[in-house]
Amino acid sequence: MALRAEPTARQLRLATELRRLRDAAGFSAREAARLLGVSPPHISQIETGFTGVSEDRLRRLAANYACSDPALIEALVTMATDRTRGWWEEFRGRLSTPFLDLSELEHHASYRWDVDFLHVPGLLQTEDYARGLFSYLNPEHPKSEVELWVEHRMRRRVVIQRADPIPYEALIHEAALRIRVGDRAAARAHLAKLLELSEADHVTVRVIPFDLDNFGGAGSAMVYAGGSVPKLDTVVRDGPHRTGFIDGEAQLNRFRALFRRLEAVSLEPGRSRDFIHGLAKEL
C-alpha cells in the first residue's frame, strides 16, 4: 500500500488514538508489530497516519491492548473503514488542507458548539459578510481566490441545513454583532439571516452581552465538534499562523467546562433573538 503524502486530520486522529491505546497498554511499537506480523516501521506508519489499518488488524490491536470501551472501538473501526469522499474533495488542490480538514470534521460531528467574540461564526455568515471578511484580511489575494473561500464557507453550512442536521449552538459576543464587516445594509441583511437561522429547532444562538461584571472570557473563541463518542471530540482554534486541532482528554474537559461557563452568562435564546432584533433596528 502506497504511503499517504499528506494524511487528513481525521486520519491523523485515528492514528493518535491507536498510539494512545498502545501507550496505555504499555506495549512497545515492536510488540505491537509482532501482534500483527508486520515490521515496527509499519506500526510507526499507522500511528502517524501515513498508512491505514484494516478492521481486522484494528480489532486485534484493541483486544490485545485490553481496550474496555466497545463504543470507542466501533468508532475507530468506522474511521478506519470509512471511504467517504465528501463535497469538500471538490476543493482539494484549490484550497489549503485546514479548509478541507474542518469540512470533514464538521461532516462527521455529532454536534457543534461555536464561541466567537469578534466575528459571527462561519456557519452563520452571509456571502457578503464572508466576502467582506476575507477581502479585508487578505487584500493581496486575487478576487478569484476570495470567491473560492466564500464558496467553500457557504457550502459548509450544509451541516445545519441538510435533512439530518447536527445540533448546533453558537455563543456570540455583542461585539461581533456590532462590528460592521460591510455597510449598514449588509449588516441588516446579516442580522436578518442570523435570526432566520436561529429559528430552526436544532440551532441555538445565544448572545454574550457587554453588560457583564467580572467577565474574563473574551479570549475563549473556539469551535467544538462532538465526536461519535466523547473521547473523539475535537476543539479547533485559529491562531495567527495556523489552525490547531486539540484532542487531548484533559484539554477537552477544560474546553467543555469553559463552554458551559460562557453559556451560563449568555442570554437565553429568546432574549438573544430580541437583542439581535434591537441591534437591527438601530441600523
What are the residue ranges spanned by the domains of the chain? 9-81, 87-282
When the pLDDT of each residue in the chain is averaged and rounded to a whole number, the result is 95
- What pLDDT is attached to residue 4? 85
CATH number among 3.30.160, 3.40.50, 3.30.870, 1.10.150, domain 87-282: 3.30.870
* DSSP H helices in 162-226: 174-178, 184-198
- Whether 87-282 and 9-81 are alike in CATH topology: the answer is no
CATH architecture of 9-81: Orthogonal Bundle (1.10)
pLDDT tens digit sequence for 196-247? 999 999 999 999 999 999 999 998 999 999 999 999 999 999 866 678 999 9
Q: What is the mean pLDDT of residues 152-179?
A: 97
Q: How far is CA 153 from the centre of its chain?
A: 13
Amino acid found at 243: T
- What pLDDT is attached to residue 240? 60
pTM: 0.94
User: What nine digits make up the cell of 161?
Assistant: 441545513
Nearest by Cα to 61 from 49, 77, 45, 78: 77
Q: What is the mean pLDDT of residues 125-146?
A: 95
What Cα–Cα distance (Å) separates residue 170 from each residue in 174, 202, 223? 12, 11, 9
pLDDT exceeds 80 at position 1: no
Dihedral pair phi/psi, residue 115, rounded to 5°: -130, 125
- What pLDDT is attached to residue 239? 67
* DSSP H helices in 97-183: 97-108, 127-137, 143-156, 158-161, 174-178
pLDDT tens digit sequence for 49-106? 999 999 999 999 999 999 999 999 999 999 999 988 899 999 999 999 999 999 999 9
- What pLDDT is attached to residue 3? 82
- HSE at residue 117, side-chain half, CA atoms within 13 A, is 12
Contact 179, 191 (CB under 8 A): no
Q: What is the mean pLDDT of residues 142-168?
A: 97
- Residues contacting 27, CB < 8 A, separation 6+: 35, 64, 65
- Residues contacting 113, CB < 8 A, separation 6+: 168, 169, 170, 171, 222, 223, 224, 226, 259
